[in-house]
Structure 1
Amino acid sequence: MEPKKTKNQGPENRNVNNEPELVTKRKKVTKEDPYAPLTDHLEDLRSVLIKSAVAITIWFLIIFSTVGWWFPVVSKGADIVVLGPFEVIRFYLRTSGAISIGFSIPFICWFLWQFMRPGLVEKETQFLKGSLPVMLMLFVTGLAFGYFIVHPLSYFFLISMGEQNFDVLVTADEYMSFLLITTIPFGLVFQLPVVALFLHHIELLTVEVMTSMRKYAYFALLVITALIAPPDVFTHMVTLFPMILLYELSIILIKRKERKEAAKAAKEEKARAKQEKKSQK
């Protein structure tokens, strides 16, 4: 006997088991809801980009309006020339833009941190939260190393070498390009210890790997030095030395971290064994 067919039920009668219905309304990405739809992440990323652009714009207006104050600091007494009226404004705009981006980096890092935090596990969150100030300090240290050591040494060395056979004229654009090349890359390279610690934190790098790959790492650092530093041996040596120190510092920090982790694990194991022995009694 065939079962009796029933008519289609209305929307109000379909959920007969009182099962929770799917909620299609999008929610804001929070730490409690890290698995939000892609559109929510795109909206948050758009917010990060807008806030970063606002921070850069504010700094740009401040810096561009104080050209007379910071220009002697940037030029550092170098004899630079301009080849036309438009080059003056182009130099001021380009320099103001570069400085404003540099000053906006702490704000941009904070905005990115707020964006990434919901999708990170607790282990990664703790590491990055404690590393942000260190990353900023290392970036500023790298910029200072490039500005006070690499830039003047390489610039005046190359100028003096050119003056032996030529009348050297350095335009404002060329000077600015040279200044950026000899400063910003070092701010990035000085992040090496933080990157190494993070890779070790997520179990992708060990001391054994770094020590066994030391000679290849030195060669890679030499190649990086040749790419970011001016083409003279003296500047290469001055630039390579702190990079090697940073690599060795990374090894020391990872060794120290591994010793702490081993001591903590041994302490926990000892406490666990003591607890088991106590429970057996």
Structure 2
Amino acid sequence: MGDKEINLVEHLDELRKRLIITVVAFLIFLVIGLVYSKEIYVFFMGNLGYKLMVLGPSDIIMIYFHLASVVAIAGSIPVAAWQIWIFVIPALKPLERKVALAYIPSLFLLFIGGLAFGYFFIFPNVMRFLIGLGNGLMTTSFTAEKYFSFLINMTLPFGVAFELPLVLMFLTTMGIVNPFRIAKMRKYAYLILVIIASMISPPELISHLSVAIPLIIIYEVSIMLSIMVYKRKQKSYSGIHF
């Protein structure tokens, strides 16, 4: 077996190890989420004002698993980022190592910030609008499964989307992506974001816009920050060259 094949096997073993650690962390946080699922449930009930219905016993455990999964995703993000950093550190320069390490806590904070934005801004406004459509005409009553599916669809995508600026900045720092090329794909990105917004929001225009506009803004902010990183990187290289 040649040196290249040995190195490939070693890299695959190392990658498998990092993936296993990440999966174990996810399962641990999933168990923690299940243990505190009732408290999480009460928190996310917010100011609804009445108890939600279930249509079958299995709905209860499924709701608990959905809520625990959100906790598991949030908790395992810094673990996954740390494992990725350990995996790629041999190929990084000292400055790149410091930059990559600084991104790890930021990933977690941005994910939580995205969830908070979706929960405290997007979700209540869309919810209020939709309930208002049937005000005086219908009796408002929700099943727990419908309510929390709607809640997760309105919050989780923003947790992921809020990490886009940091991910793009990191990839730009590593020289993997060029922000100017990404900017040229703007019209395709807008179309994809609008499609995503229509898939995760209720089937009416206001909800689509409430989700699509923040996603597009996040996309534009990501490009802007990535361009700043790219120009700074080019300037530092020019200074070293000359």
Q: Structure 2-normalised TM-score?
A: 0.77
Deviations 1:50-75 (A, max 9, x none): 43343334333333333443322111
| One-letter amino acid of the counterpart of residue 48, structure 1 | R
Question: Is 1:180–2:152 an aligned residue pair?
Answer: yes
Structure 2 portions without partners, runs of 5+: none
Q: Write 1 or 2 for the structure with the bigger share of helix.
A: 2
Deviations 1:214-247 (CA, angstroms, capped at 9, x unpaired):
4444343323322233333223333333333323
Read off the aligned partner of 2:110 and give its amino acid letter.
Answer: L
Please say if residues 77 and 107 of structure 2, whose CA atoms lie closer than 8 Å, have aligned partners that are also in contact: no
Q: Does 1:205 align with 2:182?
A: no
Distance 1:221 1:70 in 2: 30
- Where do 1:130-141 residues align within 5 Å? 130-141=102-113
Amino acid at match of 2:7: A
2:190 alignment partner in structure 1:
218
Q: What's the secondary structure of 1:36's corresponding residue?
A: helix
Quick one: which of 6, 17, 27 aligns to 1:47?
Answer: 17
- Give structure 1 stretches of 5+ with no counterpart: 1-21, 25-32, 271-281
Q: 1:257 to 1:61 in 2, by over 3 A?
A: closer
The verdict on how the C-alpha distance between 1:47 and 1:199 changes in structure 2, with shifts beyond 3 A counting, is closer
CA distance in 2 between partners of 1:269 and 1:125 (Å): 22
Is the 1:192–1:250 Cα contact (8 Å) retained in structure 2? yes
Matching residue's letter, 1:36: N
Offset at residue 199 of structure 1 (A): 4.5
Q: Which whole-Å CA distance do the structure 1 matches of 2:5 and 2:92 have between them?
A: 10
Change in 2 beyond 3 A, CA 1:55/1:266 = closer
Partner residue of 2:89 out of 114, 117, 138: 117
* C-alpha separation in 2, matches of 1:105 and 1:246: 20
Partner of 2:7: 36
**Equivalent AA in structure 1 for residue 34 of structure 2:** F
Q: 3-state DSSP class of the match of 2:73?
A: helix
Question: After superposition, what is the alpha-carbon deviation per residue over 1:70-110, rounded to whole angstroms, capped at 9, x for unaligned?
Answer: 32211113342112334323322332233233223222322
Q: Give 1:151 deviation, angstroms.
A: 1.6
Please state whether the residue corresponding to 2:178 is helix, strand or coil. Answer: coil
CA drift at 1:137: 2.5
Q: CA deviation at 1:154?
A: 2.0
Cα displacement string for residues 125-170 of structure 1 (whole angstroms, at most 9, x for unaligned residues): 5553333233222222211111111222223322333455444432
Aligned residues: 238
Name which of 68, 87, 92 aligns with 1:96.
68
Q: After superposing the two structures, state which structure 1 stretch, 133-142 or 58-67, moved more.
A: 58-67
- Tell whether the 8 Å contact from 2:34 to 2:65 is kept in structure 1 after alignment: yes
The alpha-carbon distance between structure 1 residues 224 and 162, as it changes in their structure 2 partners (threshold 3 A), is: same
Q: Which amino acid aligns with 1:56?
A: F
Match of residue 65 from structure 1: 35
Q: Does 1:157 align with 2:129?
A: yes
Indicate if the aligned counterparts of 2:22 and 2:83 stay in contact, CA closer than 8 A.
yes
Helix, strand or coil at the partner of 2:7 = coil
Mapped to 1, the partners of 2:21 and 2:206 lie a distance apart of 42
TM superposition score normalised by structure 1: 0.68
Moved more, 224-233 or 184-193: 224-233
Amino acid at match of 2:172: H
**Cα pair distance change 1:103/1:164, threshold 3 Å:** farther
